[in-house]
Structure 1
Amino acid sequence: MTDSAPSSAEQPPGTPPPSPFHRLADFVALPRLGGLALSPDGTRLITSVATLDPEGRKWQSALWEVDPAGLRPARRLTRGAAGESAPVFTPDGDVLFTTARPDPAAGKDGDEPTPALWCLPAEGGEARMVLQRAPGISAVAVATGSGGVAVVAATVPGAADAAADEERRKARKDAGVSAILHEGYPVRYWDHDLGPAVPHVYWAGALPAEPEPGASAAAPEWRDLTPDAGPPLGAGEDIALSPDGRFLARGEDVPDGTAGRRSRLVLTEVATGRTQVLVDDPEADVFAARFSPDSTQVVCVRESKSTFAAPPDFTLLVVDLASSTPRDITAGFDRWPSAPQFSADGTAVYFLADDDGRHALFRVTLDGGAPVRLTADGAYSDLQVARDGSALYALRSGYDTPPVPVRLDPQATGQDPVPLPNPGTITHLPGTLSELQATAADGTRIQSWLVLPEGASAEQPAPLLLWIHGGPLMSWNSWSWRWTPWVLAARGYAVLLPNPALSQGFGQEFVQRGWGEWGGAPYTDLMAAVDAAEALPEIDRTRTAAMGGSFGGYMANWVATQTDRFRAIVTHASLWHLDSFSGTTDSAYYWEREFGDPLTEPKRYEQNSPHRYADAIRTPVLVIHGDKDYRVPIGEGLRLWYDLQKRGVPSKFLYFPDENHWVLTPGNAAVWYETVIAFLAEHVLGEDWQRPGLV
């Protein structure tokens, strides 16, 4: 066979690259859109765009305005050195956003700024700070009718007000105390320690108008709506205000057994602080509440608790505030709805759900009709509903496009909207995207996405990279800057993105096929997908590799112990010793529901833990792990690395002391891709090992 893969080296300096994916410096510099906000009159659409800062050491966000009609080019609104994000409109059309800009009134001797709430006036002019609290503001909600504002800020237990909070923080700092005393589980979350401060929700009321020159600004209310919020998770950030400003709805974390947690839905009357429980289901988590336009109902997500026998299931509940009676509006819908919002007239609910390798937009009426899918291809997020009912707006992504803003019809089906003018559109990809079908051993259909590099043909077949998704309860359906197949396609690889058992969007039974048996159907489904890809004339089946992160890293490890068909394995943030992982991860109770107590029900741990089959590994392995990863703690990567080394397996360990489950800084992201490319080039393409220059 002819070796068609180009060299893995970067394009020479000064050479115009065929696409931004051919040079890692160009790739990490691409603009990245996130978040969306629609003005009350529907004439303005705001998004946050992250680009490299002048030093190229971090991504820095700014607010951009997009024309909802698609006629005018997008324009940049903010240029703060600290970056701006989380835009939301007030009823008057002002734009609120969070930023860690220094307060102009603080002077040079002010403390290091933390995220505060700023306001960009509708009529234009300079932004001004409107709400600040020493530890920073982490979330904001606006009553779309009254204009009242609620914010989330971390507060030390026992501090009655901001002054007391600051005094307690200062006392810890002055005494050199960093210790945290825990009296409940959990103690960590993703990449940070919990406590001693926990989130509280504060009512700020109507934001003060900009004062006249020389006058002092009016003080906000800063009334704590969650005074009883305590460790470990506090009041959380899952909050919503009713349009009339009378009520705050939020998911409240409560104990579930001796070391578990679950979420229930509570409603707080803003004026009095009186709180009542709306939905408290001992067998489910309830969250993501949103109010109806008339403030009389909320819609929320109910996620049933997984058990040893069955995975979770999701549905949408509509709750009448007067009676506190929940009603299931997606009963019998064999997909997992999320991010619900009422229609403009309150007669229907829009929601998102994974469906057959897409993340689609659905509409369901409140009169008992079945959900209707409105979009064709693509993955949608950040849905915005125009108040006059004329349109919907969202960010659309897919493996053919990063997130870009689009306009949608509120009722039409089969939509595939054209992007609105924006700074994040990519005009050229180094290959083609197609859908691939395979059949598992039990006859189940396995859906995959396949990226073929430019030039791949029967005469010049491309090497194949199997890329396994994480989760495991997710699916390949949307653009990811961390897992971008086009970087590998630009170097000549075909990239296979399969959705095996445990993937969502294919029905409850499809998830059940792999429940508690990660090494069973998920593995054989992956191999069936690889078989289907390798049968294509454009694929060189003699040069294949496999890689994955998180659960995908677990599967990459499992693949390494079960077969020698791949020339190389790349495993990122991966599970290696299931018993050890289940007790040290940040939410151990979640995984124990599926696998059982390892002391009394060890079978699933023993059957599915890759470490027990370490002696079978013959394939070269690249291990990647971040020290700040609390979801899959660093001990998993360290033990995997030692087990490979002592067995003489050709292996390398790319270690990030200051990264978490992901790799979030531009320099480290570039090194991540550079190391993966070099490792694959050595073992798949037969090139000499080229150690990345900065590691």
Structure 2
Amino acid sequence: MTVMATKFTPEVLLSAPRRSAAVPNPAGTLALFTVSQYSFETHSKDYAIKVLDIKSRHSTQLFDDPAYTEPTWVSETEFVFLKNGDSTTSLMAADATKPGSDPYEVSSFSATVSNIKVKDIGNGTVAFACTAPTTADGAMLNAADEKKPHSSAQVYTELFVRHWDAYVSKNKQGLFYGALKKVDGSFKLQDLGLVNALAGTRLECPVPPFGDASDYDVGKEGIVFVSKDPDLNPALWTKTDLYYVPLRSFTEAKAPLPQVVKTGKLQGYTGAPTFSHDGTKVAFKRMRSRQYESDKWRLLLLPDIKDLSNVQEFYETKDGEGAWDARPEGVAWSNDDRELYVTAEKDGRQVLYKLPSSPLEAKELPQPLTSDGAVGDFRNLSQSRADGRLFVTSTSLVDNSSYSIIDPESKEIGLVSSSSKEGKSFGLTRRQFDEFWFKGAGDYDCHALVMKPSNFDPSKKYPLAFLIHGGPQGAWGDSWSTRWNPAIFAEQGYVAVMPNPTGSTGYGQALTDAIAQDWGGRPYNDLENCFEHIADNLPYVDTTNAVALGASYGGYMINWIQGHPLGRKFKALVCHDGIFSTMNCWATEELFFPMHDMGGALWENREGYARWDPSASVGEWATPQLVIHSELDYRLSISEGLSAFNALQTRGVPSRFLMFPDENHWVLKPENSLVWHKEVLGWINRWTGLDTTGLSEEAEKVTLG
């Protein structure tokens, strides 16, 4: 699974191998990972489980069956994984040092199992946990046993009706545990089988729609997990709590009732619960607000798992804001449990930090261990207390996957493996990357990232691709993407500029919070300032030949720009899954979002919704625009895209509508994604005069109705 390209095209992006995070074994000598690759020639996907020899940097394929997923170490050489069937799942085991040998079945389940975790708890026992859909009584759900109704009708009496890209069913996710032991040289699941730790409760883990194995952890003293507060409607409130289920043998026939961890005034989202190696402490993160999905994460410590009322906050201040103005994401413990490693956004990077594991000792703010790229997965290289090194999976704007070893003491970083040879396989280099700061609309500065063509010549002028991020509480970063990849635009001949205006994350919580109830105000003015900064300070950019593109909130801003002066400075616009009218926000599913960002319910603050409504200025729309929307986008109903296209067509503005009936808020299927890229590039190239060969079939045509 390799790729070598002289030009980075959509086909290269979408057919490049995609590696998972690599997970080292307890000895720190081998690492398991998966890799998939799509072929536009055969219209099929290859998949493999591989093992990396960390010292030699050589990887070996173990299996190529796409039904094999989630390889997880259970010893220094052995690992378990899932074999997925139509409505069944088998837990399999194999030896990573014996490629070509057949795996054996540990156990099988009449359900769709996922998110597996294991933990050696001593006495030859390996605790095992996983998640699976359940029936009303908490048993694993076998989809094949469900009765098929004669009608497709569904009746709802409470929220949610639908969530992300599916209509909500009555089936919930359960969190199951069991114990593995070796019998005659093979791992076996103990006779009790798997027990649902959530049976008889109204709790669910992982938290839909994006919850995964990071929503829970397994330790020597039991399981900690995150679940929505069952007494609050999940469509209206973000509150999720941390719960603890005490277990000693993981063969308990009935789990003790989950116990909630008390966190005082912090009542919002909870995430990343992580046991210390000795199993007595838990680090996790939590937000304060119960109705704001982008509130600042606070890093917390439960110093004694047996005292759930004693939770300590890192960098706590009397005003409740916290001394560390960052948003911690992932969490890991050092081997001796004396330090924590945490990732957080900073100035367009996802940085790895180090700090003492006790809030009482964390006097100084965390120290960064990295400065570029985006750290994703990170964990101890080995389980030896004498080895403090970390094994890190990361990406950048030019590299789609790299594995490195970091020494937290010296901060030395040693590259072990790069899927793209640090971008060379794509024809990309770090020389293409740049950045600048510009004056915001108030007393603050904003940051922007820049991606130049690989054949960049500073004496020439290049058209501008002005990319506006979604969220709106989000940010462009030095990270890889297969959906919005700035290098794709740069290799077409654009200078791609990615501003992070008001609402962006990674620049302090005040900038993030300031977009609420001001969607078309400060952020729009910041973008105007950024455009002027480019015109005045980047002589190699031709701002008279510019296009702007955005998705989600970025799509909203494209529609807002259409009706305002900045819209006349672009040759063409692209709006993906944008908002046509803020008055329609109550067609979304997570209603806590408009209630926070628009200042209450629609009937409580109708003026607030109307103030930033793009459709109110539709009479000014004049710039050619491509509109993209998908039928399964339940965040922003497809009616938003249709409304924008209908308005453009009725006004006689050159426009085009691209629709996917089988995609959600994101376009994920390779064949659909290729069409998306060709349509987008064909559209903007048509208006800027760049080459349209091989792009949209009708790139030379303009739809006028």
> TM range, normalised to the smaller chain?
0.7 to 0.9
Aligned in 2, Cα 1:514/1:157: closer, same or farther, shift over 3 Å? same
Equivalent position of 1:606 in the other structure: 610
Amino acid across the alignment from 1:301: K
Equivalent position of 1:495 in the other structure: 496
- Higher relative CO (CA 8 A, sep ≥ 6), structure 1 or 2? 1
Secondary structure class of the residue paired with 1:346: coil
Q: TM-score, normalised by structure 2?
A: 0.86
Residues 174 and 204 of structure 2 are in contact (CA less than 8 Å); yes or no, is this contact kept in structure 1? no
**C-alpha displacement of 1:371:** 1.2
Equivalent position of 1:426 in the other structure: 423
Aligned in 2, Cα 1:693/1:521: closer, same or farther, shift over 3 Å? same
Q: Are residues 1:567 and 2:571 paired?
A: yes
2-side partners of 1:548 and 1:342: how far apart? 38
Amino acid across the alignment from 1:21: F
2-side partners of 1:229 and 1:235: how far apart? 15
Residues 382 and 395 of structure 1 are in contact (CA less than 8 Å); yes or no, is this contact kept in structure 2? yes
Calculate percent identity across the aligned residue pairs. 24
**C-alpha displacement of 1:569:** 0.6
Secondary structure class of the residue paired with 2:147: helix
Aligned in 2, Cα 1:41/1:234: closer, same or farther, shift over 3 Å? closer
Residues 399 and 418 of structure 2 are in contact (CA less than 8 Å); yes or no, is this contact kept in structure 1? no
Equivalent position of 1:549 in the other structure: 551
1-side partners of 2:655 and 2:181: how far apart? 58
Equivalent position of 1:30 in the other structure: 16
Residues 275 and 283 of structure 2 are in contact (CA less than 8 Å); yes or no, is this contact kept in structure 1? yes
Q: Are residues 1:592 and 2:601 paired?
A: no
Aligned to 1:360, which of 351, 358, 367? 351
**C-alpha displacement of 1:198:** 1.2
Q: Are residues 1:396 and 2:397 paired?
A: no
Secondary structure class of the residue paired with 1:606: helix
User: Which runs of structure 2 are paired with 1:168-183 in the superposition (5 Å)?
Assistant: 170-173=145-148, 175-176=149-150, 178-183=152-157
Residues 395 and 403 of structure 1 are in contact (CA less than 8 Å); yes or no, is this contact kept in structure 2? yes
Equivalent position of 1:143 in the other structure: 119
Amino acid across the alignment from 1:298: V
**C-alpha displacement of 1:624:** 0.7
Aligned in 2, Cα 1:621/1:513: closer, same or farther, shift over 3 Å? same
Aligned to 1:631, which of 625, 629, 635? 635
2-side partners of 1:48 and 1:570: how far apart? 34
Equivalent position of 1:385 in the other structure: 380
Residues 297 and 321 of structure 1 are in contact (CA less than 8 Å); yes or no, is this contact kept in structure 2? yes
Secondary structure class of the residue paired with 2:336: coil
2-side partners of 1:130 and 1:183: how far apart? 42
Aligned to 2:79, which of 78, 88, 95? 95
Aligned in 2, Cα 1:43/1:18: closer, same or farther, shift over 3 Å? closer
2-side partners of 1:261 and 1:439: how far apart? 34
1-side partners of 2:504 and 2:553: how far apart? 11
Q: Which consecutive residues of structure 1, in runs of 5 or more, have no partner in the other structure?
A: 1-15, 103-111
Equivalent position of 1:240 in the other structure: 216
Residues 682 and 695 of structure 2 are in contact (CA less than 8 Å); yes or no, is this contact kept in structure 1? yes
Q: Are residues 1:225 and 2:225 paired?
A: no
**C-alpha displacement of 1:523:** 1.4
Equivalent position of 1:524 in the other structure: 525
Aligned to 2:300, which of 317, 340, 344? 317
Residues 440 and 525 of structure 1 are in contact (CA less than 8 Å); yes or no, is this contact kept in structure 2? yes
**C-alpha displacement of 1:373:** 1.1
Secondary structure class of the residue paired with 2:480: coil
Residues 199 and 229 of structure 1 are in contact (CA less than 8 Å); yes or no, is this contact kept in structure 2? no
Equivalent position of 1:198 in the other structure: 172
Question: Which has the higher mean CA deviation after the structures are superposed, 341-350 or 583-592?
Answer: 583-592
Secondary structure class of the residue paired with 2:392: strand
Question: Which has the higher mean CA deviation after the structures are superposed, 137-146 or 651-660?
Answer: 137-146
Residues 114 and 132 of structure 2 are in contact (CA less than 8 Å); yes or no, is this contact kept in structure 1? yes
Amino acid across the alignment from 1:603: E
Residues 399 and 419 of structure 2 are in contact (CA less than 8 Å); yes or no, is this contact kept in structure 1? no
Secondary structure class of the residue paired with 2:432: strand
Aligned in 2, Cα 1:328/1:644: closer, same or farther, shift over 3 Å? same
**C-alpha displacement of 1:233:** 7.4
Equivalent position of 1:118 in the other structure: 92
1-side partners of 2:290 and 2:569: how far apart? 34
**C-alpha displacement of 1:677:** 1.1
Q: Which consecutive residues of structure 2, in runs of 5 or more, have no partner in the other structure?
A: 317-322, 700-705
2-side partners of 1:207 and 1:180: how far apart? 45
1-side partners of 2:67 and 2:42: how far apart? 14
Residues 117 and 137 of structure 1 are in contact (CA less than 8 Å); yes or no, is this contact kept in structure 2? no
Aligned to 1:260, which of 237, 241, 245? 237
**For residues 418-456 of structure 1, what are the alpha-carbon distances to aligned partners after superposition, in whole Å with 9 as ceiling and x for unaligned?**
352547753121771111221123242211111111444
Residues 206 and 215 of structure 2 are in contact (CA less than 8 Å); yes or no, is this contact kept in structure 1? no
2-side partners of 1:240 and 1:411: how far apart? 29
**For residues 315-344 of structure 1, what are the alpha-carbon distances to aligned partners after superposition, in whole Å with 9 as ceiling and x for unaligned?**
111012122111012431001001112111
**For residues 97-116 of structure 1, what are the alpha-carbon distances to aligned partners after superposition, in whole Å with 9 as ceiling and x for unaligned?**
3342x5xxxxxxxxx35554
Aligned in 2, Cα 1:52/1:647: closer, same or farther, shift over 3 Å? same
Residues 286 and 302 of structure 1 are in contact (CA less than 8 Å); yes or no, is this contact kept in structure 2? yes
Secondary structure class of the residue paired with 2:198: coil
2-side partners of 1:571 and 1:210: how far apart? 61
Amino acid across the alignment from 1:40: P
Work out the number of aligned pairs and report it.
Answer: 656
Amino acid across the alignment from 2:57: R
Amino acid across the alignment from 1:432: Q
Residues 471 and 552 of structure 2 are in contact (CA less than 8 Å); yes or no, is this contact kept in structure 1? yes
Q: Are residues 1:371 and 2:389 paired?
A: no
**C-alpha displacement of 1:655:** 0.4
Aligned to 1:407, which of 380, 405, 408? 405
1-side partners of 2:692 and 2:349: how far apart? 39
Q: Are residues 1:41 and 2:30 paired?
A: no
2-side partners of 1:239 and 1:454: how far apart? 40
Residues 205 and 225 of structure 2 are in contact (CA less than 8 Å); yes or no, is this contact kept in structure 1? no
2-side partners of 1:418 and 1:689: how far apart? 38
Equivalent position of 1:333 in the other structure: 324
Aligned in 2, Cα 1:419/1:605: closer, same or farther, shift over 3 Å? farther
Amino acid across the alignment from 2:28: G
Question: Which has the higher mean CA deviation after the structures are superposed, 373-382 or 44-53?
Answer: 44-53
1-side partners of 2:74 and 2:454: how far apart? 48
**For residues 400-434 of structure 1, what are the alpha-carbon distances to aligned partners after superposition, in whole Å with 9 as ceiling and x for unaligned?**
32121111112344x55535254775312177111
Equivalent position of 1:188 in the other structure: 162
Equivalent position of 2:702 in the other structure: none
Aligned in 2, Cα 1:694/1:520: closer, same or farther, shift over 3 Å? closer
Q: Are residues 1:74 and 2:74 paired?
A: no
Residues 628 and 657 of structure 2 are in contact (CA less than 8 Å); yes or no, is this contact kept in structure 1? yes
1-side partners of 2:639 and 2:204: how far apart? 24
Amino acid across the alignment from 2:482: W
Q: TM-score, normalised by structure 1?
A: 0.87
Equivalent position of 2:136 in the other structure: 157
Equivalent position of 1:303 in the other structure: 287
Residues 274 and 332 of structure 2 are in contact (CA less than 8 Å); yes or no, is this contact kept in structure 1? yes
Aligned in 2, Cα 1:276/1:656: closer, same or farther, shift over 3 Å? same
1-side partners of 2:636 and 2:617: how far apart? 20
